[in-house]
A = this chain, B = another copy of it.
């Protein structure tokens, strides 16, 4: 089966293949009255756009978004959402017309080629087709709309680790994230990563990365227990991003090594929010979620990206059954453009998925609890 829709009240459906004419998303359930035109969405796509530095794939895509429905000029003269589906389309421009006969015939190890073939019996093999990370542009576009729904929330993601090299918390500076091609909040680490990623690129290898994301301003009470928990929805959202293999909320696996005392998030009355307001938490091991419901603390998660599977070193693999009905052993390596560290461009996607999950839960909470 295909399930290309995400969300419950705030939903989006994506379509499109890496080398088809276009990709896109339909956002449904967006509240009416939010100011939206292409200029609201484009900056987020630009942040994810390939070809902007030598550390990402050299595919050149303008990724210019068009909004085809769901907006209209409001009485105040501003183009706003009408509450009807918002169709977002991005044309594919730089689908290099290379020769795909090798990947048509055999499966690239580490990619979804074999799995898609086993599932559907047939696949669009050009550039990974539907399984290409190109689809994440649609998520980023939808995420830009989701952000309009949750103006009270600030979402920040960054890379905290590349190829096993970690940022130093002592150097952490949010302002630095935009100053380097790695979304890295530690300028010293960014410097080191240049060499790591460039080495991987030159040798045709690839490296993994960890992306961290937090959302502040989320009020207590978002989350739909027990099977639409906020953390479970976030886990699905993040694990569903191409190349992601692990997700942590709050302390994650480290929590498994703490004692109950070490993991406690004590509370006290909060002088800022007033005597009956939200309590002040003295720690946030939980990552802002308890029982699947937000606590009012920042929602935090960590996401592990595997190294790009596209590498220059030939890997043993098999072909589709030939005319005699037999698979043959062969080798494949990536000839074309690729991302030496796919986790870098995952940052805007992680942010988008965080926004999409939170927007959905805000509406759900409003629906049930008023």
Query: In the complex, A84 Cα to B20 Cα: how many Å?
Result: 12
Stretch at the interface among A38-46, A55-63, A183-191, A234-242: A234-242
Tell me, yes or no, whether A101 is within 8 Å of chain B by CB.
Answer: no
B251 adjacent to A249 (CB under 8 Å): no
Residue on B nearest A22 in the bound complex, by CB: B68
Tell me, yes or no, whether A336 is within 8 Å of chain B by CB.
Answer: no
Tell me, yes or no, whether A75 is within 8 Å of chain B by CB.
Answer: yes
Query: In the complex, A214 Cα to B253 Cα: how many Å?
Result: 18
A45-87: CB near B (< 8 Å → 1, else 0) gives 0000000000000000000001011101011000010111111
B229 adjacent to A240 (CB under 8 Å): yes
A148 CB to nearest B CB, Å:
13
Residue on B nearest A139 in the bound complex, by CB: B226
Question: Which residues of A220-250 are within 8 A (CB) of B?
Answer: 220-229, 231-240, 242, 245-250
A16-B264 contact in complex given A161-B256, A369-B120, C-beta closer than 8 Å: no
Tell me, yes or no, whether A164 is within 8 Å of chain B by CB.
Answer: yes
Query: In the complex, A124 Cα to B80 Cα: how many Å?
Result: 10
Query: In the complex, A370 Cα to B33 Cα: how many Å?
Result: 11
Contact-residue bracket for chain A: 35 or more
Determine the chain B residues whose CB is within 8 A of the CB of A287 once the complex forms.
245
A279 CB to nearest B CB, Å:
4
Question: Which residues of A247-268 are within 8 A (CB) of B?
Answer: 247-253, 255-268
A295 adjacent to B255 (CB under 8 Å): no
Tell me, yes or no, whether A97 is within 8 Å of chain B by CB.
Answer: no
Contact partner of A118 among B258, B269, B286, B295, CB < 8 A? B295
Determine the chain B residues whose CB is within 8 A of the CB of A295 once the complex forms.
114-115, 118
A112-B368 contact in complex given A29-B1, A268-B316, A276-B326, C-beta closer than 8 Å: no
Tell me, yes or no, whether A172 is within 8 Å of chain B by CB.
Answer: no
A293 CB to nearest B CB, Å:
4
Query: In the complex, A277 Cα to B318 Cα: how many Å?
Result: 11
A263 adjacent to B306 (CB under 8 Å): yes
Residue on B nearest A87 in the bound complex, by CB: B15
B208 adjacent to A365 (CB under 8 Å): no
Determine the chain B residues whose CB is within 8 A of the CB of A324 once the complex forms.
275
Tell me, yes or no, whether A129 is within 8 Å of chain B by CB.
Answer: yes
Stretch at the interface among A5-13, A150-158, A174-182: A5-13
Determine the chain B residues whose CB is within 8 A of the CB of A82 once the complex forms.
120, 122-124, 129-130
Determine the chain B residues whose CB is within 8 A of the CB of A107 once the complex forms.
267, 279
Question: Which residues of A271-298 are within 8 A (CB) of B?
Answer: 275-279, 282, 285-287, 289-296
Residue on B nearest A361 in the bound complex, by CB: B1
A269-B329 contact in complex given A226-B240, A255-B304, A260-B308, C-beta closer than 8 Å: yes
Question: Which residues of A316-370 are within 8 A (CB) of B?
Answer: 316-318, 321, 324-329, 343, 361, 363-370
B227 adjacent to A264 (CB under 8 Å): no
B110 adjacent to A275 (CB under 8 Å): no
A to B CB contacts below 8 Å, 23 in the list: A1-B228, A2-B29, A2-B83, A2-B85, A4-B226, A17-B69, A82-B130, A83-B120, A83-B368, A107-B267, A109-B265, A110-B260, A112-B292, A115-B223, A118-B295, A119-B223, A119-B365, A235-B239, A236-B236, A260-B311, A261-B313, A267-B318, A276-B325
Q: What 12 new A-B contacts, CB under 8 Å, besides A2-B85, A114-B267, A236-B236?
A: A2-B28, A3-B29, A110-B263, A114-B279, A116-B293, A119-B221, A240-B292, A245-B252, A245-B253, A252-B304, A260-B310, A275-B327
